[in-house]
Structure 1
Amino acid sequence: MPDVVITEFMDEDAIREGLKGFDVLYDPKLVDREQDLMRALAEARAIIVRNRTQVRAPLLAAAPMLQVVGRLGVGLDNIDVAACKDRRIAVYPASGANDVSVAEYVIATAMLLLRGAYHATDRVTVGAWPRNDLMGREILGKRLGLVGFGAIAKETAKRAAALGMTVCAYDPFVPADSPAWSQPWGRAEPLGFDDLVASCDVISLHVPLTQETHSLIGREALARMRKDAILINAARGGVVDEAALAAALKEGRLGGAALDVFEEEPLSAARGEVFVGCPNLVLTPHIAGVTRESNVRVSWVTVENVRKHLMGA
């Protein structure tokens, strides 16, 4: 039976080199075969997961020898951290390894949605020339509002400032007099949530999914946003009320949006139906933090955490 079970995709060189000497089961589709997964965990001391594998009571019950969970990413909402703590199972997120990837996704998507010129291929290839329809906006001088001011938000702000944006942020866990607001690229203005959503051209979410943040961006918050504002969620599904967002876009009450995360993942056709016909909308499959480069970084951070824990156990 395997010593280490890996249920989702990661860099295979990191597995071969970083977990040399361990009996490893690597099956990136194991997450979709629950019974096979449960059987594989019978003697496993470690499991490595991304965001789809649910490390909760059924999985933990099937893994009596489990000592460590390696998370290929930073969010822990798919892991019952309290239950792991009760069983003295260590949980290691890959903190910092995909910050740059998410920050680049946010800035690139903000520019795409502001400019609005990149969906014209089909029209241009058949002889249309819709220049007047595609007169979008520059990012220079726009106001970026960050909901949450952790490491990824700071990386996003750094790039935004370099492009000439002004930056403000809402984070109830960062006091207004904290030195964190002053960064090498400049200063982020601390704002209350209501003031931020009402005043920003681009709003980017950087919060975990908790009881407090569930549907944080709902009908009321959307109603306070500027009519031409851009909303980007590359944080966690459930922070945005998807039906309310779709309605705001269809009714012309919002300038555009991008969702990389969804309350249900993978997004089913039935749940996705709400987005059909939404203008200036970008939907991506939880890929903001996954690039070729970040996959290598995340994988190595994770295997090092798992290896060190098992070697020291």
Structure 2
Amino acid sequence: MIKILANDGIHADGKLLLEDAGYELHTEKIPQDELPSKLNEYDVIIVRSATKVRKDLIDQAPNLKIIARAGVGLDNIDVEYAQEKGIKVINTPAASSLSVAELVFAHIFSIARFLNNSHREMPVKGNTDFKKLKKAYSGGFELKGKTLGIVGLGRIGREAARIGLAMGMKVLAADPMVDEVDIEVKLFDTYGVTASAKIDTVSMKDLLKGSDIITLHVPGGQGALIGKEELDQMKDGIVLVNAARGGVIDETVLLEGLESGKILAAGLDVFEGEPTPKQELLEHPRISVSPHIGASTNEAQANIGRELADKIIEFFQ
């Protein structure tokens, strides 16, 4: 019987599909330091971002046939080494795209209307300094007419573009692998109306110079894409959002840019030091923060569970 370890959990929809297919599924988490002695009992391991599947662990599990990532990024898996060993590596690039893109805009709205600050201060000062808070947070901005720069025009980047276009924003996109894309914006199905727009990608330099808000949708593990050199090319008062991977933005440069005023604000769902981000980032009044929840909606997790189950079942059939 095929044995599967869902070490970081799996949605009930995926669990049901795998069990109905006759597979033995274990969802009790095995600590990272115990995996070398236990992983070889399984044919498949399903992970999110918490469990690391590195070369040394792969060497301890010659029976392993699939490493499945419940999400997009594969930086917690030594993919090439696994493939060299004949192990199939799968992920779910399409399942959570909309959820991540919506979180990006949640951070943008929070920044645009000072909601991150209001949520912190209203419970403490709302009864005593209401008028002062009202004055402090009355200088927000609308998104319509602003230029949204999207770095990485994959599935999530395209969802972000779709939302930006629907908001009346101009969209710039940079991606060395993409020349152009057609983005279709659908109104709710009841209305049966769609609109489409062609987005031609631009150079990274042009995107940095021309954007009011920049959101990053690129893989991690390749160093900082946004450092001091890139920041110097941006408009004063730029807004940065990172819901991709920690380290894509140099966090020291980010803090310096906020201090100087070059960066108006930032939205961060991911951090270099997860699960212990820098306290300066968490406490900064001009950073909207969330604990790496981009794909953590009920809909996305159900989609991920079903997609993983389908791919695993197809492999063994």
* Pair 1:192 & 2:192 matched: no
* Pair 1:153 & 2:162 matched: no
Q: What amino acid sits opposite 1:133 in the alignment?
A: A
**Deviations 1:229-274, CA, capped at 9 Å, x for gaps:** 11001111111101110121123221110111122321x2xx5134
Paired residues for 1:185-264 under 5 Å? 185-211=196-222, 214-264=223-273
Q: 1:277 to 1:261 in 2, by over 3 A?
A: closer
Of 122, 135, 139 in structure 2, the residue corresponding to residue 132 of structure 1 is 135
**Deviations 1:44-92, CA, capped at 9 Å, x for gaps:** 1111011222111122122110111111011111111111111111111
* Pair 1:272 & 2:272 matched: no
Q: Residue 69 of structure 1 contacts residue 91 of structure 1 at CA under 8 Å; is this kept in 2?
A: yes
Using structure 1 for the length normalisation, give the TM-score: 0.89
Residue 79 of structure 1 corresponds to 77
Q: CA deviation at 1:166?
A: 0.6
Runs of 4+ residues deviating >4 angstroms: 181-184
Distance 2:203 2:175 in 1: 8
After the TM superposition, which of the residue ranges 272-281 and 81-90 deviates more from structure 2? 272-281
Q: CA deviation at 1:202?
A: 0.8
Distance 1:46 1:260 in 2: 29
Q: What amino acid sits opposite 1:116 in the alignment?
A: F
Q: What amino acid sits opposite 1:199 in the alignment?
A: G
Q: Residue 18 of structure 1 contacts residue 300 of structure 1 at CA under 8 Å; is this kept in 2?
A: no
Distance 1:185 1:109 in 2: 25
Q: Residue 84 of structure 1 contacts residue 90 of structure 1 at CA under 8 Å; is this kept in 2?
A: yes
Distance 2:219 2:27 in 1: 28
Q: Percent identity?
A: 33
Q: Residue 5 of structure 1 contacts residue 25 of structure 1 at CA under 8 Å; is this kept in 2?
A: yes
Unaligned 5+ runs, structure 2: 185-194
Q: CA deviation at 1:101?
A: 0.1
Q: What amino acid sits opposite 1:52 in the alignment?
A: A
Distance 1:56 1:92 in 2: 15
After the TM superposition, which of the residue ranges 9-18 and 103-112 deviates more from structure 2? 9-18
Residue 189 of structure 2 corresponds to none
Q: Residue 40 of structure 2 contacts residue 61 of structure 2 at CA under 8 Å; is this kept in 1?
A: yes
Q: 1:296 to 1:96 in 2, by over 3 A?
A: same
**Deviations 1:194-222, CA, capped at 9 Å, x for gaps:** 221122111000111253xx211111212
Q: 1:117 to 1:242 in 2, by over 3 A?
A: same
Distance 1:215 1:164 in 2: 30
Q: CA deviation at 1:308?
A: 2.1
Aligned length: 300
* Pair 1:292 & 2:292 matched: no
Secondary structure of the residue that 1:58 maps to in structure 2? Answer: helix
**Deviations 1:2-45, CA, capped at 9 Å, x for gaps:** 81111103213421343332222212x43xx1233223312211
Using structure 2 for the length normalisation, give the TM-score: 0.88
Distance 1:125 1:43 in 2: 59
Q: Residue 70 of structure 1 contacts residue 305 of structure 1 at CA under 8 Å; is this kept in 2?
A: no
Q: CA RMSD in A?
A: 2.0
After the TM superposition, which of the residue ranges 161-170 and 195-204 deviates more from structure 2? 195-204
Q: What amino acid sits opposite 1:124 in the alignment?
A: G
Q: 1:94 to 1:137 in 2, by over 3 A?
A: same
Distance 1:285 1:277 in 2: 13
Q: CA deviation at 1:117?
A: 4.2
